Amino acid sequence: MKMKTIMVAGAGQMGAGIAQTAAEAGFAVKLYDWEPETVTKGLHRIKTNLEKEQAKGRKSRQETDAVFSRISPAELTEAEDADFIIEAIAENKKAKAELFDTLDKICPPHAVLASNTSSLPITELAAATKRPEKVIGMHFMNPVPVMELVEVIRGLATSEETAETVKKLAVRMNKTPVEVNDFPGFISNRILMPMINEAVYCLYEGAASKEAIDEVMKLGMRHPMGPLTLADFIGLDTCLSIMEVLYAGLGDPKYRPCPLLRKYVSAGWLGKKSGRGFYEYGR
């Protein structure tokens, strides 16, 4: 399949990063979100990222202008012209399945439907379509333009052709594809999120201050940022959603979300994006 146009459905932090990376790889990118203001914010985020790259001498003005010109805001109906769609909406199985059902009816028969889900079963998302062989997981890491890994997750019916298409696309986007099986949380979040959850338990139980917990992991384990800072960066609501998927899908009490994590999410303390999580941020 010759791929020219990619649609990214979801223009938040992950979707904007995916759109930028696809445009840098030379694709025409259609950026959609059900909230138009989110697309506007996503385009602003992309432009700011590109300007930073230019200021650091990594891209010329002509290159940044060319990348940005390949990205255009779109309505969902424009998926009819897309060769490949990457879904990057909130980590909610019902919402993702409904979006896949809609896209399946709009997209051309050859189009692949990929999900950037960080934990949800690809087989169940594929069941919402009439093209399960063309549905696959393509899990980027955050921040997308910087992080090299892409987890590639086949559903039960995903074809070999679809898997190879995604791997080649990841390489073209300057990423390293790693294929993992369709288990809750895949590999990255099955390992990462319990570590973050345990750090929240340490804070909840009074084992140490948030600063001390983060410093131990940074200085003792050489992590670039502490687990509580990382949770704020990811979004505490996203962390909670992934822990709930792990807990429900694997049935092991070691994946039980910490009550403090639930409390913060209930309070609207979602991390950096809301201005407050374990730490406070200027908005």
pLDDT tens per residue across span 124-158? 999 999 999 999 999 999 999 999 999 999 999 99
Which residue from 173, 164, 169, 162 is spatially nearest to 112, judged by alpha carbons? 162
Q: Which pLDDT value is given to residue 283?
A: 63
Mean pLDDT across 276-281: 97
pLDDT at 87 over 70: yes
Question: Is 14 labelled a binding residue?
Answer: yes
Q: Which pLDDT value is given to residue 154?
A: 98
Torsion of CA 264, 268, 269, 273, to 10 degrees: 140
> Pick the catalytic residue: 189, 197, 241, 274?
189
Is residue 44 annotated as part of the catalytic site, yes or no?
no
pLDDT band at 2; cut points 50, 70, 90: confident
* 157-197 per-position pLDDT tens digit: 999 999 999 999 999 999 999 999 999 999 999 999 999 99
pLDDT band at 260; cut points 50, 70, 90: very high
Q: Which pLDDT value is given to residue 1?
A: 66
Which residue from 8, 64, 61 is spatially nearest to 32, judged by alpha carbons? 8
pLDDT band at 282; cut points 50, 70, 90: confident
pLDDT at 37 over 70: yes
Q: Which pLDDT value is given to residue 111?
A: 98
Which residue from 168, 136, 183, 172 is spatially nearest to 155, judged by alpha carbons? 136
Buried b (16+ CB within 10 A) or exposed e, 12-31: bbbbbbbbbbbbbbebbbbb
Q: What are the structural domain ranges in the chain?
A: 5-180, 188-273
Question: Is 4 labelled a binding residue?
Answer: no
Q: What is the pLDDT of the chain when averaged over all its residues? A: 97
> Pick the catalytic residue: 115, 139, 197, 241?
139
**CATH topology assigned to domain 5-180:** Rossmann fold (3.40.50)
Is residue 189 annotated as part of the catalytic site, yes or no?
yes
For 225, the token pair is 């940022």
Query: What does the alpha-carbon distance between residue 272 and residue 7 come to, in Å, rounded to a whole number?
Result: 27
Sign of the CA dihedral running 81, 76, 89, 125: negative
> Pick the catalytic residue: 24, 53, 87, 151?
151
Q: CB neighbours (10 Å) of residue 208?
A: 14
Tokens 């809609």 belong to residue: 102
**What predicted TM-score, i.e. pTM, was given to this entire model?**
0.93
For 78, the token pair is 């424009």
Q: Which CATH class for the 188-273 domain? A: mainly alpha
Question: Is 167 labelled a binding residue?
Answer: no
Torsion of CA 237, 118, 143, 256, to 10 degrees: 40
* 194-253 per-position pLDDT tens digit: 999 999 999 999 999 999 999 999 999 999 999 999 999 999 999 999 999 999 999 999
Question: Is 210 labelled a binding residue?
Answer: no
Question: Is 212 labelled a binding residue?
Answer: no
